[in-house]
A and B are shown apart, each in its own frame.
Chain A
Amino acid sequence: MNDTVQTLDACGTRLTVEKPAIRYDRQGDRSDAERIAAAMNAFGKDFGRTAALYLESCIHCGNCAQACHFYLATRDPKYTPIWKLEPFKQAYKREAGPFAWLYRTFDLKPAVSVDQLQAWQELLYDACTMCGRCTMACPMGIDIASLVGLARHAMFEAGLVPHELWAVAERAAREGSPLGATAKVLRERIDWLADDYDVEMHLDEPAAEVLVTFSSIEIMKYPESLVATARLLNHAGYAWTVCSAGYEATNFGMMSGNLAWQRQATLKLIEAAIACNAKVLVLPECGHAYMALRWQGANLLGRPLPFRVLHISEFVAENIANGRIRLRKVDASVAFHDPCQVSRRGGATSAPRAVLAALGVDLRETQDSGALNFCCGGGGGVIANRRADELRYGAFRIKMQQIDATGAEMALTSCANCRQSFDDGGAHFHWDRSMGSLLELCAERLEERVAAAGKQGLTADA
């Protein structure tokens, strides 16, 4: 069985591995007993105080289902968010809870089996983007999305990750990028972009105020985002650099459930920022990258980060406010899609809106917007998973219809994975719109700047 090097499918509307002749949704050659032991061990490590409190508090009201796009699109009760945690809860009550000996002695809950975990793979990975909308609906305040993230640890340890997600996560750990955007490819792209687009780009400067990071999706599929980022930073007059030892902002370790790989990817970014003495690390248009570094990064390091972490939309908003970035107006109506990990989960809901206000657009919020918006359906590794395509399209339709209902001329977002999800979902439904990038629009609308000493100030045309 070959579950190591899987060929990438880098064309088409979404990036993933080539359609496998045989799916390997079970990794490795271990016995069921070994898999379940590994899962239980991982569960045990994750049953901290917060997870325990949440697992104890569910009252089975079913409200979470009403928030979940996968449930709403299919009306299949198995997609009820808290149901995704059932084996996790079962294991907790039987092994670690305050009445665990009662549960075991009277067999009040059966032991979790490999078959059960296998059946739950679809619920945890195909039908969950960890968007957190369920958390917003729970009357007990349970953060259901965070529990799914924890449960994925056990699934990874048991070798029960969906084929494509495992393949890209493994590739990321091995090569530095899940999608073939190795340091070598990055260098080549940056050289070509700097030349072709006539923009000053900085790679591997020894010191910089700002460390810029990218998402492999941008490097491979939307390279103009790299140009846009450079234009904005040059315009704002910062000393910035990308570092080939720490440029990849995506974190497939986090998405697949491998803590070691998650830590490895995060530490590369942190070490790069420290090495070049950066005061700010800018994350690209990406959702989970924000969650991974802004909110989980310091905890993987074990101490506060010695630099600030900003999503590119926050960086732009801040520099509009302090006058370093000046944008020309755009006379258009815009519907904005909030990347779930940045807005709802990350708390950075107002930054992109401040940028849109500076652009002077007519913002038409979708019916559910900001912290309550609907997920595009592609996050959390779902878009890489071909088996989940139909489910994802059903969920995507909800979002697509909400954007259409605004009647806005343009649709913008600030996450390359959401963009990809809109490209792929849009192609599937023959959508007559396309999703644009807030970052790229900003770069197109930069005011002309007189060149600052030693730096190329650039006009904005691509």
Chain B
Amino acid sequence: MNFDKELDARGLNCPLPILKAKKALTDMTSGQVLRIIATDPGSVKDFEAFSKQTGNALLEHSAASNEFTFFMKKK
């Protein structure tokens, strides 16, 4: 999947991945896609909730070894 910006949130515990994603998204234009890599297992639920709350679509998310990857499109 294509993306316009990447956020490495590995090693960060919640709520940091969300806060950093929020900040990254504010600098992006509508339609752009942010790729986030996190290691915090709680981030799956967090990003789902964040997506629902803010309307930024969670296009895809996957898990491999102990890393979680999210693709979020700015509203």
Binding site for B on A (CB under 8 A): 10-12, 192, 196-197, 221-224
Contact = CB atoms under 8 A, between A and B. Distances in A.
A12 B18 CA distance: 13
A12 B23 contact: no
B31 interface: no
Contacts of B46: 11
B42 A12 contact: yes
Contacts of A222: 15
B15 A221 contact: yes
A374 B14 CA distance: 30
Interface of B: 13-16, 19-20, 23, 40, 42, 45-46
Summarize A's interface: helix, strand, loop or mixed: loop
A33 B19 CA distance: 52
Given A11-B46, A12-B42, A196 B20 contact: yes
A461 to B, nearest CB: 9
Contacts of A221: 15
A224 B42 CA distance: 20
Contact of A224 (B13, B19, B40, B45): B19
Q: Which of B14, B19, B45 is the most central at the interface, judged by chain A CB atoms within 10 Å of its CB?
A: B19
Contacts of B19: 223-224
A10 B13 contact: yes
A224 B40 CA distance: 20
Given A221-B15, A223-B15, A11 B20 contact: no
A192 B20 CA distance: 10
12 contacts: A10-B13, A11-B14, A11-B45, A12-B42, A196-B23, A197-B23, A221-B15, A222-B15, A223-B15, A223-B16, A223-B19, A224-B19
A70 B39 CA distance: 40
Nearest to A222: B15
